[in-house]
Amino acid sequence: MFKIFIVEDDEKIADIVVQNLSKAGYVCKASKQLSDIMPEFIGFKPDLVLMDIILPFYDGYYWCGKIRLLSKVPIMFISSKSEDIDIIVATNMGGDDYIVKPFSIDVLGAKVVGLLRRTYSYDNSEMDVISHNGLILNIGSGVASANGKSVELTKNEAQILTLLLKNRGNAVSRERIIRSLWKDASFIDDNTLTVNITRLRKKLSDLGLGNYIETKKNLGYML
pLDDT of residue 184: 59
Separation of alpha carbons 121 and 118, rounded Å: 6
Distance from chain centroid for Cα 186: 37
The per-residue pLDDT of the chain, averaged, comes to 89
**pLDDT tens figures, 75-126:** 999 988 778 888 888 888 889 999 999 999 999 999 999 999 888 865 444 4
203: Cβ contacts below 8 Å, ≥ 6 apart = 144, 151, 153, 157
pLDDT of residue 134: 84
Q: Count of CB atoms within 10 A of residue 100's CB?
A: 15
CATH code at 3-120: 3.40.50.2300
* Residue 180, pLDDT score: 87
Beta strand pairing status for 3-7 and 48-52? parallel
pLDDT of residue 58: 95
Q: How many CB atoms lie within 10 A of CB 50?
A: 29
Query: How far is Cα 98 from Cα 88, in angstroms, rounded to an integer?
Result: 10
Give me the torsion for CA of 129, 67, 209, 218, rounded to 10°.
10
> Over 60: is that where the pLDDT of 187 sits?
no
| Strand 220-222, strand 27-30: pairing | unpaired
Strand partners, 77: 51, 98
- On the question of pLDDT at 206 being above 70, the answer is yes
Question: What is d(CA 210, CA 201) in angstroms, rounded to the nearest whole number?
Answer: 7
Q: Are 123 and 156 in contact (CB under 8 A)?
A: no
Residues 6+ away with beta carbon under 8 Å from 62: none
Domain boundaries, the chain: 3-120, 129-222
Q: What is the pLDDT of residues 139-167, one digit of tens each?
A: 877 888 888 788 899 999 999 999 999 99
pLDDT of residue 156: 92
Q: What is the secondary structure of 122-188 as a DSSP string?
A: T------EEEETTEEEETTTTEEEETTEEEEPPHHHHHHHHHHHHTTTS-B-HHHHHHHH-S-GGG-
Helix/strand/coil for 2: coil
Candidate from 8-17, 138-147, 172-181 with smallest mean pLDDT = 138-147
pLDDT at 128: 72
pLDDT digits (tens, 9 = 90+) for 46-74: 999 999 999 999 999 999 999 998 888 99
Burial class (CB in 10 A: 0-12, 13-18, 19+), 171: middle
State the architecture of 129-222 in CATH terms.
Answer: Orthogonal Bundle (1.10)
* 78 sits in which H/E element: strand 75-79
* pTM of the full structure: 0.63
Q: Is 6 helix (H, G, I), strand (E, B) or coil?
A: strand
